[in-house]
Structure 1
């Protein structure tokens, strides 16, 4: 399993010795999408040449949350989820750097010396061509090439990964989720977009009309646009417990209730109590948008159709 290592202050040499001499790659790696996977694959390859460990370094919270809190994007994935996906890629360590005003005030040179030289004792680095670092993002791959050469660190620039002639990025995936195209998001991520949270009590209207739902409390992770989706529900930590699901996001206009990012999950052919349990949801395909129906009977008819559609999409 990819080991998560927390680093509160990069100017203090507190990194475990197991990381010394690693091949490092720095970024947010939000979503660990296919572009990230390509870059980390090159890091893994270089680490094999050097007989070194691999370390992906991320910032938490996102630097924008410190510099411009109102503009901070919601995450595509939690730190734990990033570690899970990196484990599949064979990455040894996920270094979580605490983002502070002091960190963001470091010059590019000071940042490089503190993290790569004094802490990681890095032997190799892989970064994308658009990588920037240090105060005001003044450091770039040209400067990084010089600094690595001076310190005897092997440095390689990874090619940008494109889909439909556009570079795959976390921002692009967020924009895709914002219009509800979860299938396109999954294509760029390489996995289904995932949210996880605790099941809380709702108004139980779904149960009264024969469609019980689990109301999911999700925080600080991107929620797709309001609508109905086919997906998978996962109980606890076991992927083996994956269950087909019909998922509703948003308000319930027929009843005049709900909130824009409320998530209700109907697990198909599952009737056990879910309150207080952790439920993870993978989004597979959008079925339709949110609609207002003239009666509960019309709503029930549509829900039956939705479930049939979800069953077909999840076969």
Structure 2
């Protein structure tokens, strides 16, 4: 899958294509329906399919001090779009220039001029243009004047209502990664490069791979049963602490993962950690002995949970 940016027109072989348009953070079941409809239309009409996403997220542009909320990095979204069958990912840089475009300019300059779109698929709640003044009806009306067709896909719902990124964020902050995984169709994954830490874990028999949480939404702090995905494709089981390590001073916000029966160095390697189940909240211990005893119990519980859960491909 090709990766493109909106600072130049897309290549000729991708022009006249079908564009799935949205933020797609998390790429949950609702997002998958939008992209799936675009891919089906593209295959039926013999047109290439591009998935267009915004980076940074518009919320980050308008509210730069907002707490971290991302469910997926741009790199993760690229992989998910490729798995879905897209031919290219087109990234619209969300900055002051894009935010000031009128709906007419957004369609004529970006979707048609830069992306070369012949057909655009969005969710029914998609808005665009200065002050979010454009909606799917306006997109359809402007597109028709320029020879571009559109389709708006309704929400995917369950017994609790429409599936949304907000529901997934709520599940994660409440310590319910299983519910998040159900809405996402896969476990929530935090990707990052393993960094050097204080190396305290190795002194008590629990060496950890440490990853910065960066711009990801902060799940509920605590201990989780997890799976790690390594660069070579291996998937390994473990237990992890998400939080500030209250037993140690100074507090340091990290994702710390202990992998079972694993002794290789992962420093400076990119890995992904899947949150499978929440075990308990973070706690402060009076001694390393007490911490170690609790970690023994946590790992036993994580192994029990993971033994009953098969990895998602």
RMSD across aligned C-alpha pairs, in angstroms? 1.7
Structure 1 segment 155-234 matched on structure 2, within 5 A: 155-234=150-229
Q: Deviations over 1:134-154 (max 9, x none)?
A: 100101111112122223323
* Aligned position for 2:310: none
How far did 1:72 drift?
Answer: 6.6
Q: Does 1:5 align with 2:1?
A: no
Hey, what's the Cα distance between the residues in 2 that align with 1:232 and 1:269? 13
Q: Which runs of 5+ in 2 are unaligned?
A: 308-313
How far did 1:90 drift?
Answer: 0.5
Hey, what's the Cα distance between the residues in 2 that align with 1:72 and 1:224? 12
* Aligned position for 2:122: 127
Hey, what's the Cα distance between the residues in 1 that align with 2:146 and 2:266? 55
Q: Does 1:111 align with 2:110?
A: no
Asked whether the 8 Å contact 2:187–2:276 carries over to 1, the reply is: yes
How far did 1:57 drift?
Answer: 0.8
SS state of the match for residue 211, structure 1? coil
Structure 1 segment 1-315 matched on structure 2, within 5 A: 2-8=1-7, 14-71=9-66, 73-236=68-231, 238-239=232-233, 241-259=234-252, 261-315=253-307
SS state of the match for residue 229, structure 1? strand
What TM-score do the two structures reach when normalised by structure 1?
Answer: 0.92
Q: Which runs of 5+ in 1 are unaligned?
A: none
When the two structures are aligned, how many residues end up with a matched partner? 307
Hey, what's the Cα distance between the residues in 2 that align with 1:254 and 1:121? 56
Asked whether the 8 Å contact 2:38–2:120 carries over to 1, the reply is: yes
How far did 1:223 drift?
Answer: 3.3
Tell me which stretches of 4 or more aligned residues in structure 1 moved more than 4 Å. none
Hey, what's the Cα distance between the residues in 1 that align with 2:44 and 2:193? 44
Mean alpha-carbon deviation: is it higher for 109-118 or for 297-306? 297-306
Hey, what's the Cα distance between the residues in 1 that align with 2:215 and 2:292? 32
Asked whether the 8 Å contact 1:195–1:223 carries over to 2, the reply is: no
What TM-score do the two structures reach when normalised by structure 2?
Answer: 0.92
Hey, what's the Cα distance between the residues in 2 that align with 1:48 and 1:101? 35
SS state of the match for residue 65, structure 2? helix
Hey, what's the Cα distance between the residues in 2 that align with 1:120 and 1:295? 59
Asked whether the 8 Å contact 1:39–1:128 carries over to 2, the reply is: yes
Asked whether the 8 Å contact 1:62–1:72 carries over to 2, the reply is: no
SS state of the match for residue 202, structure 1? coil
Asked whether the 8 Å contact 1:215–1:264 carries over to 2, the reply is: yes
How far did 1:274 drift?
Answer: 2.4
The alpha-carbon distance between structure 1 residues 150 and 217, as it changes in their structure 2 partners (threshold 3 A), is: same
